[in-house]
Amino acid sequence: MSGSRAHVRRLAHRRGANFSLGFRLLPAAKRRAVYAAYAACRIPDDIVDEAGPGVATAELTRRLDAWRDELERTYAGRPGTAATVALAEVLPAFPIPKPALLGLVEGCRMDLERRRYGTFAELERYCELVAVTISDISLAIFGVLRAEAPAAGRHLAMALQLTNIARDVGEDVGRGRIYLPLDELERFGVAERDLEAGRVEGRAYADLMGFECARARDHFRAANPLPAMLEAGSRAAVRVMGGVYRRVLDRVAAEPAAAFARRAELPRWQRLTAVAAGLLARPFV
């Protein structure tokens, strides 16, 4: 295995534990492509989220610009990092769309520019950039058999991103961000200051999170037809990835206050259950 391939493989298994359960089920060529694509998606996200409190916004903007330029050079045949070398190796076989990777960079840039979303429509635009772009990237690797696949893929991408948002409310508040739409907080009687102070034990927060989780679950349900629209070698992987996240969503919905205090993770038996359900072609919901 080349050094660049080993690098992106290690990154996927270390940073994408929930996704890597599904990655392992892909045929070898698709698996290599997914590892490379995952690394290319992870890097701009880490630029924003892993920089630490002392790094100025201008510096993070510069780093995102540099990564955008690196992607441009990669698609021009001049990759300059281990991750982009791995990406360049798979592009001849898998038409990973450059606009999707660049769109993801712009979505990560939004995290530098705004920390609140007034309505779900505003949040949905953010999700389009940071999640639906990843669906477009993934479908280029998984192989599409039907024209309806991108629409179903959008639903799965929204489900996964909304699960992330529900799971990470506490972590995001710690970074100064609230992704839950402010008009929905108001509707359920949850104030921003309640989240900032960690006051999430009451009925109001539980009802709010029940509403948010139900929306994500609706997207999982709408995504149920997706695996059958993909090449056979990709179907189990997609079912497992979606199944793992749906079980994470269930844990958040069952104990929203506990999930706020500590990121909801699946015990080993539930991860194995998700793999078995995927192999048996069970629906997401």
Whole-structure pTM value = 0.95
Residue 230 dihedral angles phi and psi, to the nearest 5°: -110, 165
Which pLDDT does position 43 carry in this prediction? 96
Asked whether the beta carbons of 219 and 131 are under 8 A apart, the reply is no
Which DSSP category does 26 fall into? S
CA–CA separation, 14 and 7 (whole Å): 11
Which pLDDT does position 1 carry in this prediction? 53
Which pLDDT does position 10 carry in this prediction? 85
Three-class SS state of 52: coil
CA–CA separation, 146 and 259 (whole Å): 37
- The token pair that represents 44 in the structure block: 């701009």
Strand partners, 230: 144
Q: What is the pLDDT along the chain (285 residues), one digit of tens a residue?
A: 568 888 888 888 777 677 788 899 999 999 999 999 999 999 999 999 888 778 999 999 999 999 999 999 999 999 999 999 999 999 999 999 999 999 999 999 999 999 999 999 999 999 999 999 999 999 999 999 999 999 999 999 999 999 999 999 999 999 999 999 999 999 999 999 999 999 999 999 999 999 999 999 999 999 999 999 999 999 999 999 999 999 999 999 999 999 999 999 999 999 999 999 999 999 999
CA–CA separation, 87 and 94 (whole Å): 10
Which pLDDT does position 16 carry in this prediction? 64
Which pLDDT does position 167 carry in this prediction? 98
Nearest 10 degrees: Cα torsion 215, 220, 224, 226 = 110
Asked whether the beta carbons of 244 and 18 are under 8 A apart, the reply is yes
**Domains of the chain with bracketed CATH:** 1-95 (1.10.600.10), 114-285 (1.10.600.10)
Residue-wise burial string across 239-264, b where 16 or more C-beta atoms lie within 10 A, e elsewhere:
bbbbbbbbbbbbbbbeebeebbeeeb
CA–CA separation, 224 and 36 (whole Å): 26
